[in-house]
Every structure is written in structure tokens, then in C-alpha cells.
Amino acid sequence: MPKQDEVKNELFPLLLEASALTFGTYTLKSGRVSPYFFTSSLLHTSALLASVARAYATVLTSPPFSIPSAVSDTTDCAVAQGHEPTYDILFGPAYKGIPISAIVTRELEHSGAPYSNVSYAFNRKEAKDHGEGGIIVGAPLKDKRVVIIDDVMTAGTALREAVSIIQAQGGIVVGVVLLLTRQERVSETESRSAMQVAQDELGVPVRAVLTFEDIMDAVERGDIKGAGPEQFEQMRVYREKYGSKDFEERTAGQATR
């Protein structure tokens, strides 16, 4: 089983136990009535943080965020796998992105020497005019390759703000990694998902650890306690109504293989 599938299977039970992922009837800010709800605010135990960090790390140590390494020291696990990062800094937008960027940076150290110099940074909501000053805490962003780390993306407003901050500091945004993408269209007039819109606008890879599709598959397999055929059907109906164009194209492509 691929490593990314392993960490997803490890993460689902913990999300359910912490009620970070729940099933029911939820009215979202958009007005849509969703059959499930996800909140990263409840990801605060050591076990959950460790699992979340490992999940992000599997994405960040795989293409397109890692490239083949020319080094061949097989005593190092990451080099033995032949990859090194295409980024220098993980940036966590305030506030939810702050702890995530820190724990994922720490987790990357376990991936081997090529990842040991990856740093993290985050923004203050208000610039500090004393002490070290400024709006950025952590690694300086100037001339550095930056991957933005966050939990979810709704309209993409927070992401655009983060990109503006990084660019104002002289940093270069090279990618975005989210914890979850809902894979639903932005609006009635925009059939792409917020994640796809961001990728198209920024011209950099935007990926997610977990997807709506992952949740559906886990429910269908019976891997999620308390979610069965009824919940699967509700999610199928929700997908039919709100599924994004890129989600539909992806699933159609998989069906023809």
C-alpha cells in the first residue's frame, strides 16, 4: 500500500475520535447543507498532531514538492529514496496555519538530510513595531522558495492574502498544501473548486492531504465508524449537486481506466 494511503487510514480514526470529522446535517457559511463537517480547531492532541504532520510530510516529500536528488548516500533514508525538497520554507497563515507549519517542519527532519534545513514562518495579524519588529515571525522570506501550509480552502481569500504577504517580503510561492479539499464548485457561475482556481491563478501545484473523494471511499468501504450506506448516499447526492468540474473530470478519467 502506498505510504500516502497508509497515513490517510491512520488519520481517519483519529479525526473521528476527536470529532474533527463528523457526519450529520450542517449548514455551511455558503448556505449549502453538507452531510459532513470538518474542523481543524480540534486537532490539538499529541497523537493527532503527530498523525497530521506525517500526512503532510508524505505530500511534501513526494512529487511535485520533491525532485530526484543527485546524491546517493544510501545511509540516509530520504537520499536513498532519491528526492530533495523544491522549497526552503513552510509558511503558515495566521492563525490555523501557524501550528501546522511548525509541526510539519519538525516532521520533515525525519525524512533525511535533504529536508533538515527546511524552515517555517508565519505572519502576525498586526505588524510589531518593537523588538524584532515586522509582520513575519520565523525564517526571512526574501529570495526563498515558499510552500503555503493551511487546513482548508473555501473561497481562497486567505490564500490570496498569504501570497501577497510572501511576495511583499520578497519570497517566491512555489506551492500550497492543504489538509482537506471539499472538491466542490466555488459558485453557480464558477464550476472549478477553490483549490483548482488557486492552482490556475498562481501557476503552482496545489495539493491536499485528504479529499472529499477520500472520505467517500472510506465510508463506502465501511472504514469510518458511524458512517454507512445512508451517509454514503447523502455524500453522493451532495457531490452530484455541488461537485466541482475538476472533481468530475478526475473521477470520469479514473472510470475509463
Domain boundaries of the chain, sorted by first residue = 3-66+83-256
- DSSP, res 224: S
CA distances from 25 to 37, 65, 224, 238 (A): 8, 36, 17, 11
Handedness of CA 19, 10, 181, 67 (dihedral sign): positive
The catalytically annotated residue of 3, 128, 142, 241 is 128
Digit-by-digit pLDDT tens for the chain (257 residues) are 347 778 888 888 889 889 999 999 999 888 999 999 999 989 999 999 999 999 999 999 999 999 887 654 444 444 445 689 999 999 999 889 999 999 999 999 999 899 999 999 999 876 655 545 578 999 999 999 999 999 988 767 788 999 999 999 999 999 999 999 989 998 888 899 989 999 999 999 999 999 999 999 999 988 888 889 999 999 999 999 999 877 655 554 444 44
Rounded CA-CA distance 23/165 in Å is 36
Q: Is 130 a catalytic residue?
A: yes
Distance of CA 6 to the CA centre of its chain: 16
**Is 128 a residue of the active site?**
yes
Q: What is the value of pTM for the model shown?
A: 0.86
Q: Which fold has domain 3-66+83-256?
A: Rossmann fold (3.40.50)
- 8, 96, 125, 130: the catalytic one is 130
> Where does the chain have alpha helices with state H?
3-17, 46-60, 77-80, 97-108, 157-168, 194-202, 212-221, 229-242, 245-255
Q: Residue 96: CA atoms inside 13 Å, Cβ hemisphere, count?
A: 14
